[in-house]
Structure 1
Amino acid sequence: MAKILLSIIIPTYNVENYIVECVDSLLKQKGASSEIIIVNDGSTDGTLALVEQHYGHLPQVKIITTRNGGAGKARDIGLDAALGEFVFFCDPDDIVADGFLAELQQVYQAHPEIDLFCFSSQMFEDGHRERIRPKVRHEVFGLQPPQKVLSSLLRNGSYTSAAWNYALKKSVATQYDLRFVDRVHEDHKYTLSAFVRARHAWVSKHVYYYQRVRNGSLTNSRKSEEYFLQRYNAFMHAFSTLKHALDTSPASKALEKDYLMHSFRLMIYLSLYNGTPVPEYVINAIRFMGGQHEPANIKEWLLINRPQIFIMLQNLKVTKELKRAA
């Protein structure tokens, strides 16, 4: 039996309209041996029937059914079952472009030391594949220190904690016991750990991942107060992971600041686009945690020292954008 290079894990819940397109895009990949692990997270629609009908006979596809426990738990189940050198988490309504597996194979043969494979991504509107816009935008390429890759994404504002952002060598996940936690924001700590625990990364110049934006999905619906509190708690847990993994070098301190600035801005924008006030605990964190770092420009100075003014200015920008989109 050929050694499996990549295990593709798909947490799946009530996506009968999308799962076939997703899995078909993965089956078209050419290159090394791979396996697709579909974890049916207690779907109540026709998802499981479709998966079994289309893929139940394929030896490279594993179908696991479990009681509904959320995407994080489903990913952990898939991770435990994975036999590949690398693991890659794909959302069930998204699409992976041709060439992904072939480049991973080529790069790993030339650089067996890599344990993180990164690539850019785009978003597209459900039902309109032609309407795309950038998501993850890499600016450094080839063989890179993972923390440099992370810092670059944080600084250009395109970092995402989404688990489909990379393929990670499974031995890294095993060595550091990387798991997904909670039903909401479950990937923040896992993804940050992947970047700070990996030793060597390869960054592709290609866009390989296409994220579908659809009405009614968790990422595209109105958020509750509980959502924002869970998001803040996920940030705090992830930041604690970052602090424990880094040393006291200037580069590490710069990465710590990059993560804080990115996270503060993101939590502010989440509230503004939701039409709700920025929570006071976020503003307090900005003052206390941000105040321990030297601002690099006037925007950072405003964010850290006058967060209410920064929020007011950003709200004007968001209001204009929402009016144009209406």
Structure 2
Amino acid sequence: MMVCILLSTYNGESYLEEQLTSLIHQKEIKTQIYVRDDGSTDGTTGILDDWQSRGLLNWYSGENKGPALSFIDLLENAPEAEFYAFCDQDDVWLPDKLLTAVQILKQYSTDVPNLYCSNLSVVNSHLSFMYFFHNKRLKKFSKASALIDSWGAGCTMVFNSALKKMVLNNLPSTFVGMHDKWILLCAIFIGNLYYDVNSYILYRQHEKNVVGEKRTFRKWFKDKCLFVGKIRERPVEKMALEFYHSFHEQLSDDDFCLFSVLCHYRISIIQKIKFLFGYKGLCMKSLSLNVNLKIKILLNAV
């Protein structure tokens, strides 16, 4: 079984060696590490050169595009493999991360787009455990909540070649958002998704995270408080519109209704009322997030 690990780097010299070491110590899985550097200016490329000279990975460089477009570029240039896995530069993978994912994915048809993602063990810069990203009692992955909430982190995702092909044939044209969100929607609405409540990754949080789950008052105030930040971006609505335009012919009747609520809530009072009252699971995971969401709905800012 071959898994192609897709790693995007950007000024990651501090933790890259530790992450790469965890990748080559995966149990019972043949791996190929394929790296795109997103315009690093520190010692990252020197580390990649060293690992490539030892035959442990292949890498190439490109202009700075940000994580979403960098990972899409990796997908477009990746070699053929049975499975693919997204990888961040500063985490640590536990030895059975890929084996667990592949064993689950092999239960599904290879002709259908299949995705595995898991929980995260959030740790500090020294790898000391802080908390689980999702409550481990959580068992069910809701299609509706996946549209508006952060369910599947890209660094936990392992998927088959059928899903890779589907994504590349249906890339968003005007609004990219995040690469992992698009792949999650492709799997949950068109293919198969398996969400594992267990964690096989140490998700490192530190001051230089490009993206992440840093729990600070400043981040909460900027990201969660309605009246701070770019509330006009409407990332959820834009992503839903992009997905609807790509896959509307393949959606079930119920799924079509879900997308109609998200795509038309700003112009239809009926759809806005449905959204406000959590139509078929269109809600967040906590009371505070739900209150925040409802205010955003009223302000047409979702």
TM-score (norm 1): 0.66
Decide whether the 8 Å contact of 2:117 with 2:195 is kept in 1. Answer: yes
Distance 2:293 2:175 in 1: 34
| Inter-partner Cα distance in structure 1 for 2:16 and 2:188 | 32
Of residues 165, 170, 174, the one that matches 1:174 is: 165
The 5 A counterparts of 1:206-245 are: 206-219=198-211, 220=214, 228=230, 231-232=233-234, 234-244=235-245, 245=247
* Residues 178 and 215 (structure 1), Cα distance of their counterparts in 2 relative to 1, 3 Å cut: farther
Query: Number of residues paired by the alignment?
Result: 272
2:126 paired residue number: 127
C-alpha displacement of 1:120: 1.5
Residue 118 of structure 1: aligned partner:
117
Change (3 A) 1:202 1:18: same
Indicate which of 198, 204, 207 corresponds to 2:196: 204
- For residue 43 of structure 2, what is the aligned residue in structure 1? 46
**Pair 31,152 (structure 1): closer, same or farther in 2 beyond 3 Å:** farther
Contact 2:143 2:188 in 1 (8 A): no
More displaced 10-residue stretch of structure 1: 131-140 or 117-126: 131-140
> Could you tell me how far apart the structure 1 residues matched to 2:63 and 2:208 are?
22
Q: In structure 1, how many angstroms separate the alpha carbons of the residues matched to 2:155 and 2:87? A: 5
**Is the 1:136–1:160 Cα contact (8 Å) retained in structure 2?**
no
Aligned partners of 1:11 and 1:74 also within 8 Å: yes
Identity of matched residues, %: 16
CA drift at 1:78: 1.7
Aligned position for 1:34: 31
More displaced 10-residue stretch of structure 1: 90-99 or 159-168: 159-168
Q: CA deviation at 1:47?
A: 0.8
Q: Aligned residue for 1:273?
A: none
Q: Is the 8 A contact 2:36 2:59 kept in 1?
A: yes
Asked if the contact 1:120/1:207 (under 8 Å) is kept, the reply is yes
**Aligned-partner SS, 1:140:** coil
> Aligned residue for 2:284?
none
For the Cα contact (< 8 Å) 1:286–1:307, is it kept in 2? no
Q: One-letter code of the match for 1:249?
A: D
Cα deviation, 1:232-275, whole Å, max 9, x if unaligned, reads 2x322211144454645346646876xx6xxxxxxxxxxxxxxx
Q: CA deviation at 1:61?
A: 1.3
Query: In structure 2, what is the Cα distance between the partners aligned to 1:210 and 1:140?
Result: 21
Identify the residue that residue 79 of structure 2 maps to in structure 1. Answer: 82
What is the CA RMSD across the aligned residues, in angstroms?
4.2
Read off the aligned partner of 1:106 and give its amino acid letter.
Q
CA contact (8 A) 2:175 2:239 kept: no
Residue in structure 1 matching 2:277, options 277, 295, 298? 295
Query: What is the alpha-carbon distance in structure 2 between the residues aligned to residue 191 and residue 93 of structure 1?
Result: 22
Which runs of no fewer than 5 residues in structure 2 stay unpaired?
A: 280-286
Q: Deviations over 1:37-86 (max 9, x none)?
A: 12111211011112222x12344511112222222232123212232222
User: Cα gap change, 1:42/1:128 in structure 2, threshold over 3 Å: closer, same or farther?
Assistant: same
Residue identity matched to 2:238: H
In the superposition, relative to structure 1, how do residues 249 and 131 fare at CA in structure 2: closer, same or farther (>3 Å)?
Answer: same
Relative contact order higher in (CA < 8 Å, ≥ 6 apart): 2
Shift, 1:178, TM fit: 4.6
- What is aligned with 1:66? 62
Cα deviation, 1:198-253, whole Å, max 9, x if unaligned, reads: 42333435312332221243445765999635852x32221114445464534664
Query: Does structure 1 residue 16 correspond to structure 2 residue 1?
Result: no
